Amino acid sequence: MNFSAVVVAAGSSTRAGPGVPKPWRSLGGRPILRWSVEALARAGAREIIVVTAGERMTDATEALAGLTGWKAVAGGATRAESVQAGLAALSAADDETVLIHDAARPFVTTTHVERLLAALADADGAVPALPVADTLKRGAEVIVETVSREGLWRAQTPQAFSYRTLLDAYAAWPADAEPTDDAAVVERAGGRVALVAGDPLLMKLTYPEDFAMAEHLAGGRRITRTGFGVDAHRWGPGEAVWLCGVRIDHDQTLIGHSDADAGLHALTDALLGAIGEGDIGEHFPPSDPQWKGASSDRFLLHAAGLVAAKGGLIVNVDVTLICERPKIRPHRDAMRARLADLLGLPLDRVSVKATTTEGMGFTGRGEGLMAQAVATVETPL
């Protein structure tokens, strides 16, 4: 089912304590806003509208650098006005599903979205909710009443509706009232809103103490992925060879459409493999003349950019060069330094090694050179 999303990030965050508003604070090394936008994009959102304060447009661009399929619009003085600004910016058809989500709930997942989309099959809206587990008391300084919790739920976001249903419901909402969520707007207009299973991890970051808990949770919501790459090129006439981004004087060169840097090619494939993005040939076809003689630095930086766009972090890389000549050891430190610079990694997270095949096979006969690479990447769940 096609869906679009509006992510509301225009609040002042007065209850969150001193500092910048919640969407721009760091969580697990990423802005809180980015968590939700990345998750909704992974879930298949056709279009994502980020609603923020007018003066925060540049912050949104910086927080979401490298991501596509989103645009930012200025919000209003209230949450309801901000939601309506987001709806107005969508290019959705009347019957398309739209999810309204608070940026302050960063741990949304594809599973949450799928539950909501499924519930819309026979409802006008759908809300993730948790049953109230605590005993409820009414009062101020003293308790005046114990309130039954039977049938009470804690509503969360994202909340899902058809685009036209939500637009019309907001149009009918009284101007002198402020809804606490979008489901209330649809309910008042007579819509049927379904409850789906909520998740304690869809917690809303509201008070200062919430951020410490979220930081702890963020550390456990990433997975480690490993990619493996292999590349080989034959030797041909030349006077130098490029390996792991370093030029080495040699009596031959490696033959290839680009600069034939087997080390960088193998490492590029390893990064692409770690995030399930195919191989180097899909991104840079050797049949395309624009890559003739190209520096392989560009290929590696492209792969690293794709990792970053998925919210990933490159943990370490390891390249093994298999050849009889040239000797790699004299150039190994320069190669490690070059890879560390390209990938923005500390030197101790970069390894370059070399071995021979003791005269066996095409590398042993001096017909070509082979490179193997392993990359470890951490990405959000």
Q: What is the pLDDT along the chain (381 residues), one digit of tens a residue?
A: 789 999 999 876 555 555 677 888 888 878 999 999 999 999 999 999 999 998 989 999 999 988 899 999 999 999 999 999 999 999 989 999 999 999 999 999 999 999 999 999 999 999 999 999 999 999 998 999 999 999 999 999 999 999 999 999 999 999 889 999 999 999 999 999 999 999 999 999 988 888 888 887 877 667 899 999 999 999 999 999 999 999 999 999 999 989 999 999 999 999 999 999 999 989 988 888 888 888 999 999 999 989 887 778 899 999 999 999 999 999 999 999 999 999 989 999 999 999 999 999 999 999 999 999 999 998 876
DSSP state of 132: -
d(CA 267, CA 231): 9
Whole-structure pTM value: 0.62
Tokens linked to 92: 């959705």
Q: Classify domain 3-219 at the CATH superfamily level.
A: Spore Coat Polysaccharide Biosynthesis Protein SpsA; Chain A (3.90.550.10)
So where are the chain's domains? Answer: 3-219, 222-380
The predicted structure's pLDDT at residue 299: 95
The predicted structure's pLDDT at residue 10: 86
The predicted structure's pLDDT at residue 51: 96
CB 344 within 8 A of CB 206: no
Same CATH topology for 3-219 and 222-380: the answer is: no
CATH 3.40.630.30 assigned to domain 222-380? The reply is no
d(CA 284, CA 212): 43
d(CA 70, CA 49): 6
The predicted structure's pLDDT at residue 287: 84
